[in-house]
Chain A
């Protein structure tokens, strides 16, 4: 995506991005914004409270036992905690904002030729694109910018869609069929189109894309809401734990007859350390970064819900052509009939294919060259009269020195041979059936009116796709191949590609039915589609990726659009969805595991004067009660910054079964989260001691 690549590459924009994020981080301190995030809102309230306490203590009003320096330091680090969390969120948004700016520049106001009626001969008036409304007809000619999203109703033209897709090669847009949707902001290079406008100003595809990448309308996703509730629950528990600690402490002082009750500063510090600030602070950034990872791969998700659903997908419906197989069939074998040698058949077929520029034709030339070292001479080329493929004859070939060679679909060739008075042998029919049964496409060859053999054209399975499917299966995702081929061919290809199931002779109705049956069994289904007749299936699927070169109805029905129009991307989309959820889970686990160490730092420190025996719990041997509490607070703030890269990049994702993922991630983020703060707090305490601040 040209427009997007500009944003991320050189150094200065990156610096600008950080600067902008810093500014945004301060703006995000606005409590109206923070109140949506209960954990961080509590941090803000704590920060304000301690700042007020600092003010009171400096002005001599307060008689708190803590020094203003200590209260001030804790307050400062609480503000840092907030700023770090805001910075992470702003940074995640920053990437999207830069892209949105680039997109916005392409969305300038353009003049539109509004037609009085829906035909090219009608008169037009030039108006501003912002005045166009749904249902208007416009004429666009070469070098015009298409003023708004629409449907081509007449004409054919080459359109440069690089503004949207970043792909510089122009694409063909024409009325009818599956290539009729055009996007506002793209440019017509040749010829002309009449377009029926399908969107009002500000609601076009480009507008939607801008608001999506900017995250302006980002709604919390269902899973995010559920997690926020759990985090709020923990926050409430810790609020009560900390609030009740004051009376407990006062009572204990009475019982012990020594010491002073726990101070407000320490209570707030304890509270902020205990509530899950790590995940609370990074939750938004994780969500935004997940969407952003999709955008980096040129996929636009219409909602975060769709990205989460991608993680849950149990069945992938994959189009055979382009996803499982390379787009073209290739010749793999020459099957001669009696009286004909294999090399002679290869030679004749190669001759017949010399002028055939289709991938299949070229593959025949290459195969003959490869197997028999055959190379057509320039003489042959000059002398030959090439017969191109036409819709009427349905054959191609050449006439050379009085010989005729024809190739085509078996039934066409057989009919041709019979017309020429020749005989079609039983062996020929057997060879044709044999090839069809193995999933190949037979191509018959006739020489001077006699059938001489068959070429085996084969769908070529993409390399590595079988391993990919095996991995998907290991992680519980079923792959289903969708093809228009007959069941015989489909069975063979499905077996070779290693898919779990297939739908042959697929019609839109059959697809819809298949999706419904999987959903009834409890699976979430993902699919790609581009045609108008895919729209119902796309609307039914849980994750529906429309190709950007598809029709408007398909794009409307889908919940994601792939700007590269690459059906293989479905697998990547699933991976991104899973990665997003995993990152959330990993940081939640890490955040909660951190609390154990913080207790061991703060509790002995908090009750040091009342019960000096509790010093045995301070097995980290933190220097002083103040330095212990400061170290915990500082660790709590710094860990957010330390985890920003992980939150933005997402935790590494591998295709392994769930049980193994759970074990690995529990070890890494659970055990890691338990141990890390012990080390971190100790190190910070040592630094404070070395600096003479302990």
Chain B
């Protein structure tokens, strides 16, 4: 119990200590001042010159959206084509063939949309070139896209009487050059120091110490150990809330996450930028308390859900208790439900990771969520279903939370006898329409896709478990895709086109179906007059408003998913 508390507090403390200066630095970057990184300025200008971008050319929300969609659409096509022709391209020491089209489309959509859902095993499906030029590049760009949308929204609040939201190309260049690249380089070096592999050499074949006999009678004498340029991809996969592992078992793999220290660093990296962006937000709108309030909302939900996950896992499996198995914490074991968890991380670090990776729309795993107790699996599932706004994706989490804040302000604002306003901007019909779309799309995608899955043989072919857990598996998969998280409950067999193509569509809708209305809101807000705050204004930087926002998020999430959760994890728990 005590160790769990110490671990959470220690983790949060370092997180906040790192996030604040980073957040303030990012605010400066978006205002055009890269600080000590200004020696990269010539490089930045060179990019603009090469691409023919006028630096002072601001964009309206429509232009910004168009640029974004073109850019991401191009990325999608590129990653898809790369997989189609990887067989003929260099940097393919394992000589993996080209990827099957439906799977390639799913993977391309998944990485472009910052979901990083993986229906493939990295080491056996993709060449090093595809991993580096396709996936790693999209890890950077999808993260930068989310951050650019957030920055455009912030400008919508901080500017008035204008149609200009900034320039997409400049925002994305600066994000990558001054924020993501430096952080990724630092983290990658740290990870390499802990033993994460970084090589373009082929997999190593080593003789087994003890030969083993396969079920068909053949004797296996050697083992192939996969390697590759992992550290460079893992750094950005965590920092950019991407989460797609280099290897199939993701951060449970000893070459991806070898030590408790690498585990801590990666866990910090998962929440670092989403946390820092709250400070960036406060700084850029010129009211730090507004940013801290949103951060507190995230922290409170995160900590309570993480605590409940840890508690549920620590209780262990009652069926094992019946068999007189000792599941208590003691000096030689961390106790609780250790199935699917790595002993080198222990229970708390695994469960805390599970909460962090689902709160943020990261999705990388260091333990198998499928093997969690029903309640231990329920909280990570619910964290995704809340719309990925508790930290969420880089940029996307905060703009999603702001959409919730608009709804919270709308209802509460009326209760103080004024038409609603947030951060000095009136929230009117158009904003409400767009905010409703932003909040509606994820639950609709999750519920509809799950419903189709459970009523079709194609969908049911994926579930590998009988009983309500089979339902939980399907619900988890679409909660993950429909919220751009990408974490898998494992256990789901996703080879059917319903999952590959259908899943890709879910991910794309959940990403761009939100980005477009958010940018539209940004455009509409930027044109509006800023209203000065008075005693009659609804204060949105108080614990009261923070509490109200938490209630709105939980109620919308609970009202949308309670019936489904009852039929999945809750009944699983009751039947256990």
Contacts and interface: CB of A to CB of B under 8 A. Distances in A.
State yes or no: do A and B come from one complex: yes
Interface of A: 222-223, 225-227, 229-230, 232-233, 236-238, 240-241, 243-245, 247-252, 255-256, 274, 308, 311-312, 314, 473-478, 521-523, 577-579, 581-582, 584-586, 588-589, 592-593, 595-596, 599, 603, 607, 611, 613-614, 616-617, 653, 657-659, 661-663, 665-666, 669-670
B455 A666 contact: no
Contact of A522 (B455, B529, B545, B558): B529
Of A233, A593, A603, chain B has the most CB atoms within 10 Å of the CB of A233
B397 interface: no
B410 A662 contact: no
B574 A603 contact: no
B555 A596 contact: yes
Contacts of A232: 436
Interface in B359-405: none
Interface-centre pick from A222, A226, A613 (highest chain B CB count, 10 A):
A226
Contacts of B417: 311, 577-579, 581-582, 653, 658, 661
Given A244-B450, A476-B535, A255 B439 contact: no
Contacts of B544: 659, 662-663, 666
A222 B430 CA distance: 10
Given A308-B419, A579-B417, A657-B535, A247 B455 contact: yes
B560 interface: yes
29 contacts: A226-B427, A227-B410, A240-B447, A244-B450, A244-B564, A248-B567, A250-B455, A251-B454, A251-B471, A252-B567, A256-B467, A256-B468, A311-B417, A475-B536, A523-B532, A577-B417, A582-B414, A582-B416, A585-B411, A588-B414, A599-B559, A611-B575, A614-B566, A616-B574, A658-B538, A659-B542, A659-B544, A666-B415, A670-B551
Interface string B168-202: 00000000000000000000000000000000000
B217 interface: no
B563 interface: yes
Interface in B5-52: none
B440 interface: yes
A253 B92 CA distance: 49
Interface in B517-576: 529-532, 534-539, 542, 544-545, 548, 551, 555-556, 558-560, 562-564, 566-567, 570-571, 574-575
Q: Which of B413, B433, B454, B570 has its CB near the most chain A CB atoms (within 10 A)?
A: B454
A223 B419 contact: yes
A61 to B, nearest CB: 25
A312 B418 contact: yes
Given A230-B432, A311-B417, A661-B416, A241 B439 contact: no
Contacts of B330: none
B563 A241 contact: yes
Nearest to B451: A244
Given A581-B419, A658-B537, A658-B538, A666 B428 contact: no
Contact of B454 (A230, A247, A314): A247
A233 B440 contact: yes
A611 B470 CA distance: 15
Contacts, number: 210
Contact of A662 (B415, B429, B555, B571): B415
Contact of B534 (A476, A593, A614): A476
B448 interface: yes
Given A581-B417, A659-B538, 5 more contacts: A237-B440, A248-B564, A251-B471, A599-B559, A617-B570
Interface of B: 407, 410-419, 424, 427-429, 431-433, 436-437, 439-440, 443-444, 447-448, 450-452, 454-455, 460, 466-468, 470-471, 529-532, 534-539, 542, 544-545, 548, 551, 555-556, 558-560, 562-564, 566-567, 570-571, 574-575
Contacts of A663: 544
Most chain B Cβ neighbours within 10 Å, of A223, A592, A593, A657? A223
B416 A658 contact: yes
Given A255-B466, A522-B530, A658-B418, A614 B574 contact: yes
A529 to B, nearest CB: 24
A573 to B, nearest CB: 13
A596 B558 contact: yes
A611 B571 contact: yes
Nearest to B414: A585
Contacts of A581: 414, 417-419
A79 to B, nearest CB: 25
A252 B451 CA distance: 12
Listed from nearest, the 4 A-B pairs whose CB atoms lie closest are A476-B536, A585-B414, A578-B417, A476-B534
Contact of A617 (B444, B460, B566): B566
Contacts of A585: 411-416
Contacts of A312: 418-419
A255 B429 contact: no
Contacts of A603: 562-563, 566
Contacts of A662: 412, 415-416, 538-539, 544-545, 548
Contacts of B437: 233
A472 to B, nearest CB: 9
Nearest to A233: B436
A659 B539 contact: yes
Given A229-B436, A611-B571, A666-B412, A314 B534 contact: yes
Contacts of A240: 443-444, 447-448
Nearest to B424: A522
Looking at A236, A607, A666, the one whose CB has the most chain B CB atoms below 10 A away is A666
Contact of A225 (B415, B429, B545): B429
